[in-house]
Amino acid sequence: SHSCSHHKAASLIQFKNSFSITQTRDAAVYCDDIAGLKSYPKTNSWKEGTDCCSWDGVTCDHLNAHVIALDLSCRLVPRSLGNLLQLNHLDLSWNQLSGQIPRSLGNLLQLTHLVLWENQLSGKIPRSLGNLLQLTHLVLWQNQLSGKIPRSLGNLLQLTHLSLSGNQLSRQIPLSILNLTQLEYLRIGENSLQGSIPDEVIAFPNLISLSLTGNLLNGTLPSWLYTAPSLKLQFDPWKSFDSSFEDQCLSDSNNSFNGEVSSLICNVTFLQILDLSHNNLSGTIPQCFGNLSDSLGFLNLKKNKFYGTIPLTFAKGCQLSNFNLNGNLLEGPLTPSIFNCKGLEVLDLGNNKINDTFPHWLGSLPQLQVLVLKSNHMHGSLCVNSSKSSPFFFSKIQIFDLSSNYFSGPLPVRYINSFKAIINLEKIGSTVSYMGENDHGGRGFYTYSIGIVIKGQYMELVKIFNMWMIIDLSNNQFEGEIPKVIGKLNLLKGLNLSHNNLNGGIPTSTRNLTSLEWLDLSSNRLSGTIPNRLTDLSFLSSLNVSKNQLHGQIPQGKQFNTFGNDSYEGNKCCSNRELCGFPVSKGCNIIELAPPNVLEKDGSKSNIACGWKVVLIGYRYGIVLGMSVGYVVFQIGKPKWLVNLVESQHEKRRRRMSKKGNRSNRRRRI
């Protein structure tokens, strides 16, 4: 093999000396943790007098020693490049490149791979990139590029990978993009593109992955979506490229597409990710979607206007891990064939018109972590026949949201006992991660999302933190007492049981919910006092026990000093007893400060223990007084005033007893 020329080496040394090297935290996370690339400056090995073909990040042609590839990904590099006309592979991803993409890149006519993703590049995409006729991979995603997509990109007939997502591009998608018939991966989501998608029946016959999500696009879905044969997954030898592109993905979410989804989409037999969420699509969901489930892992049709029923049949080899139909007009019962999706982790059917009893068979899905059935017409009891128990029984559930339905009966003690992940019997892991990161090949670029009420506010979580543990059974017709087993859920972050018909006291076992951040028990018929030990919940930042029948002193100290009057308003018990103490305006008298000397129904001894404190205080003062009187008697004899007091009290007691005896004798005679 040949050594590189002195001229090429000098150009690279000049290139190296024109910038300084630093490492950003985000780049380190990606390079070290996700891409598995060691974060160190590759240019450390670039030294004068050595063969540049042996330098880190430099690849040479073995025949003539031309520098043909420069890979400085995960490093900070300059704003300008050398005059390396033989270059065919340029990867500058995950750096802090700023400024504009230089027009001179259009001179690198041998270039096949141009990768500048995850930088801070701004300005317009140069039209000169349309000169790179050998280009197969153009990856500019996650920068700050603006303006329109240049029509000249339609000249790149060899292009198979085009990614412009995560920029600030606007205007319409140019018609010239239809010339790119070799495209396998097209990602132009998360921009501000407008208008309709160019439609051509024969466009993109090799398309495997499409993302248009998060734009301002409208109109109907183009016909070529239904005719792309979607080739089988292929191994991509280009290691530094975004490996998530190996998924066969169709993502058109967060636009304004309308019309119906044709059943022809089921011809896309190898589709793994289908995301049409947040559009205005209508009609029925094609029943053939159930047949797609043997390859489809991610199906998201959230926030559209689909009506009718959920597909009735799911394939026995169902691969779905995320199934989201939230926010449509779907009705009818749930199909038990969802049970075929053994790997299902997230099932979100909330905000529809589903009319059914609770599908207990869902508890047998061994991987289910998130179940959202809120805001439907579901009804009946959650009590389950012990003979129908399963070995899993929601053992991995972390988010359980059945709010705003018509469920009745007692709270589901059997389910609560089986929530092993929340009880901390199921290993979750302590590292910071998000649900779905380990799916689709472990690439982590398509995580799960969900909408949920947190501390009284509805929030859309674009990612679900793996430590979120939430139970929301609010706005139903549950009755009876809050079971003491609720205290087992020591990893629980949020508990909402508001707007039901629950009665009895707040169980003192709630003091064991040491991870709890919000607790809403409002609008029930709860009685008794608020357990003082709730002040030990150091993470509790939101509390609502308003509109119940609670009374007595509000616990004081720690985070309870941060809760306002609205946390307690509307509580009034029998005999006009109310909550008292800070922050409400009513002060507490001595009687209200002393809790009743009775055992709580959940077996707690806190009240009787508190009662004994009062008794012991009385004994203490009685002993002191008795000893003092005894000492006086012993020293000076019986004081006259004390003798008179005792004798007068004794005489009064003797007269009362005599009167009672006379009355009883008269009754016997009668």
Q: What would the 3-class secondary structure string for 193-249 be?
A: EEECCCCCCCCCCCCCEEECCCCEEEEECCHHHCCCCCCCCCCCCCCCCCHHHHCCE
Q: Which two tokens stand for residue 369?
A: 């972590």
Helix/strand/coil percentages in the chain, nearest 5? 25, 20, 50
* Residues 470-485 pLDDT 10s: 999 999 999 999 999 9
Overall average pLDDT of the 486-497 stretch: 96
Does the pLDDT of residue 76 top 50, yes or no?
no
Above 80 in pLDDT, residue 69?
Answer: no
Q: Tally helices (H) and strands (E) across the chain.
A: 8, 40
Give the pLDDT confidence score for residue 512 in this predicted structure: 95
Confidence of residue 81 (pLDDT cuts 50, 70, 90): low
Q: How sure is the predictor about 575, in pLDDT bands with cuts at 50, 70 and 90?
A: low
With a CB cutoff of 8 Å and minimum separation 6, the contacts of 104 are 81, 128
Give me the residue label for tokens 């439609």: 199
Distance CA 443, CA 516 (A): 31
Q: Is the pTM of this model over 0.75?
A: no
**Domain 294-473 carries which CATH code?**
3.80.10
Sequence ranges of the chain with CATH classification 3.80.10.10: 474-604
Token readout for 603 is 């077996």
Question: pLDDT confidence of 160, banded at 50, 70, 90?
Answer: very high
**Mean pLDDT, the chain, as a whole number?**
78
**Residue 96 in tokens:** 């802090």
pLDDT of residue 465: 83
More confident residue, 215 or 36: 215
- Is 285 within 8 Å of 306 (Cβ atoms)? yes
Supply the pLDDT for residue 223: 73
Express each pLDDT in 386-420 by its tens digit: 555 555 689 999 999 999 999 999 999 999 999 99
| pLDDT at residue 269, rounded to an integer | 63
Answer with the residue of higher pLDDT: 25 or 241: 25
What local confidence, expressed as pLDDT, does residue 40 receive? 53
Q: What pLDDT, on a 0 to 100 scale, did the predictor assign at position 616?
A: 42
How many percent of the chain have pLDDT more than 90? 41
Q: How far apart are CA 214 and CA 140, in angstroms?
A: 17
How far from the centroid of its chain's Cα atoms is residue 439's Cα? 15
* Percentage of residues in the chain having pLDDT higher than 70: 72
192-208 CB burial, b ≥16 within 10 A, e <16: ebeeebeeeeebbeebb
pLDDT value for 442: 38
Contact 566, 609 (CB under 8 A): no
**Of residues 177 and 253, more confidently modeled:** 177
Query: Which pLDDT score is estimated for 25?
Result: 45
Phi, psi for 187 (deg, rounded to 5): -130, 105
pLDDT (average), residues 616-639: 46
What integer is the mean pLDDT of 486-491? Answer: 95
Q: Does position 100 have pLDDT exceeding 70, yes or no?
A: yes
Local confidence band at 246 (pLDDT 50, 70, 90 cut-offs)? very low
Comparing C-alpha atoms, which of 298, 226, 232 is closest to residue 268?
Answer: 226
Q: Residue 389: what pLDDT?
A: 54
Q: Which residue did the predictor score with more confidence, 613 or 249? A: 249
Which CATH architecture best describes the domain 474-604? Answer: Alpha-Beta Horseshoe (3.80)
pLDDT at residue 590, as a whole number: 59
